[in-house]
Amino acid sequence: MRNKPIIGIALLILFSTFISQNQFTINKFEIKEIKIENNKILEDQELIKTFSFLYSKNIIFLNSYELKKNIDQKSFIEKIEIKKIFPDKLLIKVFEKKPIAILIDKHQKKYYLGKKTDLIEFRKISKYENLPIVNGEPNNFKKFFNDLIKINFPIDQILSYQHYEVNRWNIEMIDKKILKLPEKNYIESLTNFMSIKDKSNFEKYKIFDYRLNNQLILK
């Protein structure tokens, strides 16, 4: 009976030692350093701030899903890849979105549009300052833009897109030609324009008005 307190004390010391050793092991794998690579637009410090919640997390159990759920959908970040450098460093490879246009919504707020016509936060970037302007809402533009892609319309020659409440579009080309498209069957109008735009007898015209059924009015 006298040995029971001694055994209890010994077990307590052993348990405390086990906890301390495990705590040391856990602390050893806490993330202490984050490095960023492959970013061209976003600054390192901005990205490190975005991922600062990772500090002190256990690197062993970290997964990319935990990072992705903390990324703003309107961020320039397309996707990320992580590399664990044991025991406590994390390398994050960032892949950035490439805007195709600048959208101005009905509140005159600017966004970049991604290749999936997703909204991207707007910031002044010299390499994107000459992107075409879209006046309209992204949901309306998505279908219209996809239709342009399907018929191989020369989107690299477009200066701006203008959407109207009656649900039709105008397109201004870089040579200042303007297409006024109808509400319905606008693909036929676009196809017609592609077939005639470079012909010499159409060079002098700046407005191609397709709004009336089966008619083209030139000005």
Cα separation, 92 vs 200, whole angstroms: 54
Q: What is the pLDDT of residue 2?
A: 53
Per-residue pLDDT tens over the stretch 9-67: 544 444 444 444 444 456 779 999 999 999 999 999 999 999 999 998 999 999 878 78
Domains and CATH numbers, the chain: 29-96 (3.10.20.310), 101-218 (3.40.50.11690)
Per-residue pLDDT tens over the stretch 78-128: 999 999 999 999 999 999 999 999 999 989 999 999 988 999 999 999 999
Residues 6+ apart with CB under 8 A from 49: none
206: pLDDT strictly greater than 70: yes
Burial of 20 (0-12, 13-18, 19+ CB in 10 A): exposed
8: pLDDT strictly greater than 50: no
pLDDT band at 4 (very low <50, low <70, confident <90, very high): low
> In terms of Cα–Cα distance, which of 39, 90, 40, 34 is closest to 62?
90
Q: What secondary structure does DSSP assign to 29-90, as a single string?
A: TB--EEEEES-SSS-HHHHHHHTGGGTTSBTTT--HHHHHTTS-TTSSEEEEEEEEETTTEE
